[in-house]
Structure 1
Amino acid sequence: MPTDQFGRQIIAVKPITVPSTDRGIELRVKVTAPASGENLPVIVFSHGNAWSLDGYEPLVDRWATAGFVVVQPTHLDSRRNGIGFDDPRSGSIWRVRIADLHAILDNLDGILAKAGGLDSRIEHDRIAVVGHSWGAQTVGALLGARVLDAAGVPGEDFSHPAVKAGALIAATGTGDTLTPFAAEHLPFMKPHYFTMTTPALVIAGGKDQSAMSTRGPDWFTDAYHLSPAPKGLLSIAEGEHTLGGIAGEKVAETTDEDPTRVALVADAISAYLLHALKVDGTAWTALHDEAATSDGAWSIRSK
């Protein structure tokens, strides 16, 4: 049983198979939670491109320490599944990702029952979704965002009634600014945020230059600026796409390794979700106060 940096024990159970359809590969999840406690809020986390249920431990363990039960799926795009752009399933993976999260939420009690009886320890009215990069666009759909078609018309509503709040880390921006590669292979990267009404925290790095967009780092703030209140925005001046290494320690794709930055991302999400889920707003208020003394290294806005 792992122990976090404050000495509090957490548990992790994997893999747990989730009922799913039209997927071809079993949907499996990992559950991480405090070893004790009742009425715990839940986070369902969607990983970035190519990752799996084994990634993002620096975030997940810290959230479990803060009192959350965290459920992490392995989506079809995980590198362990070997599905490339030439695979006929590639064009629909964005939809399967969303279906994965729906399957988890629809079967949440059964999943958590297999993780040591956690189903009896959660608060069913306090469920949030969080995602990074492609995962951020995936969870955005459950918060109410839609995908624009080729004619610019918003598509299907994939929101889920169980979801009460969320957080989007390095979320896809809007506008006709996709690079030729992205436009050809990832045409679904056109979110419509005007319908994303569920409370959410948006996190963006000031040095996150996406290879999928011709715009600069401000592209990653669209989810905040274009969606209706209530929303929060955490801007991290020196943050790049992995924001210090949120996917894991010593990960090769991390170009801005900074454990302090990772802790900031994790703790800001915990604080926001505890506030938005009406558990305790103290940490979120304190974070606003702390931002005033950060000397511009990071800032928080709310609307």
Structure 2
Amino acid sequence: MLSTRPDPRIVAVKPLTVPAPGRSLDLQVKVTAPVSDRDLPVIVFSHGNAWSLDGYAPLVDRWAAAGFIVVQPTHLDSRRNGIGWEDPRFATVWRVRIADLHAVLDRLDDILLQTVGTDARVDHERIAVVGHSWGAQTAGAILGARVFDADGVPGEDFSHPSASAGVLIAATGTGDTLTPFAAEHLPFMRPDYSGMTAPALVVAGGRDQSRLSTRGPDWFTDAYHLSPSPKSLLTLTEGEHTLGGLAGEAVAETTDENPARVALVADATSAWLHDTLKIDSAAWTAFGDGAAAADDAWSLVRK
């Protein structure tokens, strides 16, 4: 389902610095966009642990070719910043990640003014957040998910009014089955999805066995099952945590390298967003119609 736009060429601009008072390091972003067309929807993308604005090209380039402006911040946990588990700043990185997305959404016009004419070609009414792994939990917070505290009380509401939909790829499940390591170092991985009312597509791998939870791959479907409708759940039967290599070709984290699987995730995301943002429903309708012929490679449910 690669884009059939007349001009599939894209352009990327990096690094752009976004004002983020109180942040210990500058917030930098990359913008990738089509070279033509107007009224372009926006994806703000949150990377997984240790990555940066330079990752996820197989996803981002395909989204831009499909007609999206994609903005990628580098979060504090990027390996290039050297903030590890034992760093005293790590305990609050999850909050800084959310603040990063707020900063991007609040200053989107200023960001796009620094790029090649995208400021005049953006549709401000069609903005989505997307994330992978830790980035999926970050994006979920923008859509209304909260974090349970040690007493099981839902915490602060971090939702942002500019984001009208989102896609959560390999999103953290509930925190009652965290491994001892995760409970000690990642106590914020206790999401409460009951308030995530915004439309969302949840993408999970049928063979994604996390070392952070004692549960199996179904842990990554909680964002679908425990949130109110409207939601869709795409499960890639043989997919592991990087779902074929979302972060890049032949990267070390990829345990199930499969470019076709990556393309499926990218195209499903584009199709779902085009439908949900009321741009064009044809691709998502065709995607749904194709579920029966997927030969057990993937499945799709909705509520």
Structure-2-length-normalised TM-score: 0.97
Partner Cα separation in structure 2 for residue 85 and residue 249 of structure 1: 27
Spell out, residue by residue over 1:35-78, the C-alpha distance to the aligned partner (whole angstroms, 9 max, x if none): 00000000000000000000000000000011000000000000
Shift of 1:85: 1.6
**Structure 2 counterparts to residues 264-303 of structure 1, below 5 A:** 264-303=264-303
Cα distance change on mapping 1:171 and 1:257 into 2, 3 Å: same
Unaligned regions of 5+ residues in structure 2, if any?
none
SS of alignment partner, residue 159 of structure 2 = coil
Q: Which residue of the partner structure matches residue 82 of structure 1?
A: 82
SS of alignment partner, residue 293 of structure 2 = coil
Spell out, residue by residue over 1:69-97, the C-alpha distance to the aligned partner (whole angstroms, 9 max, x if none): 00000000000000012211110000000
Q: Which residue of the partner structure matches residue 246 of structure 2?
A: 246
Q: Which residue of the partner structure matches residue 232 of structure 2?
A: 232
RMSD: 1.2
Q: Which residue of the partner structure matches residue 96 of structure 1?
A: 96
SS of alignment partner, residue 84 of structure 1 = coil
Q: Which residue of the partner structure matches residue 121 of structure 1?
A: 121
Partner Cα separation in structure 2 for residue 104 and residue 297 of structure 1: 36
Spell out, residue by residue over 1:87-134, the C-alpha distance to the aligned partner (whole angstroms, 9 max, x if none): 111100000000000000000000001011211101000000000000
Unaligned regions of 5+ residues in structure 1, if any?
none
Partner Cα separation in structure 2 for residue 22 and residue 216 of structure 1: 38
Partner Cα separation in structure 2 for residue 50 and residue 157 of structure 1: 25
Partner Cα separation in structure 1 for residue 268 and residue 86 of structure 2: 39
Shift of 1:8: 1.9
Partner Cα separation in structure 1 for residue 20 and residue 28 of structure 2: 10
1:164 aligns with 2:164: yes
**Structure 2 counterparts to residues 1-303 of structure 1, below 5 A:** 8-303=8-303
Partner Cα separation in structure 1 for residue 171 and residue 222 of structure 2: 8
Partner Cα separation in structure 1 for residue 173 and residue 253 of structure 2: 21
SS of alignment partner, residue 232 of structure 1 = strand
Structure 1 window deviating more from structure 2 (115-124 vs 188-197): it is 115-124
Partner Cα separation in structure 1 for residue 258 and residue 205 of structure 2: 13
SS of alignment partner, residue 99 of structure 1 = helix
Shift of 1:21: 1.4
SS of alignment partner, residue 72 of structure 2 = strand
Shift of 1:253: 1.1
Structure 1 window deviating more from structure 2 (95-104 vs 108-117): it is 108-117
Partner Cα separation in structure 2 for residue 144 and residue 283 of structure 1: 27
Where in structure 1 do 4 or more consecutive aligned residues deviate above 4 Å? 4-7
Q: Which amino acid aligns with 1:221?
A: T
Structure 1 window deviating more from structure 2 (207-216 vs 113-122): it is 113-122
Cα distance change on mapping 1:281 and 1:92 into 2, 3 Å: same
SS of alignment partner, residue 97 of structure 2 = helix
SS of alignment partner, residue 85 of structure 1 = coil
SS of alignment partner, residue 292 of structure 1 = helix
- Residues 4 and 66 of structure 2 are in contact (CA less than 8 Å); yes or no, is this contact kept in structure 1? no
Partner Cα separation in structure 1 for residue 207 and residue 85 of structure 2: 28
Partner Cα separation in structure 1 for residue 109 and residue 117 of structure 2: 9
Partner Cα separation in structure 2 for residue 124 and residue 253 of structure 1: 35
Shift of 1:149: 0.2
SS of alignment partner, residue 45 of structure 2 = strand
Q: Which amino acid aligns with 2:142?
A: L
Percentage identity across paired residues of the two chains:
72
Q: Which amino acid aligns with 2:29?
A: V
- Residues 175 and 189 of structure 2 are in contact (CA less than 8 Å); yes or no, is this contact kept in structure 1? no
Shift of 1:302: 1.1
- Residues 173 and 220 of structure 2 are in contact (CA less than 8 Å); yes or no, is this contact kept in structure 1? yes
Partner Cα separation in structure 1 for residue 95 and residue 184 of structure 2: 17
Spell out, residue by residue over 1:194-228, the C-alpha distance to the aligned partner (whole angstroms, 9 max, x if none): 00000000000000000100000000000001100
SS of alignment partner, residue 12 of structure 1 = strand
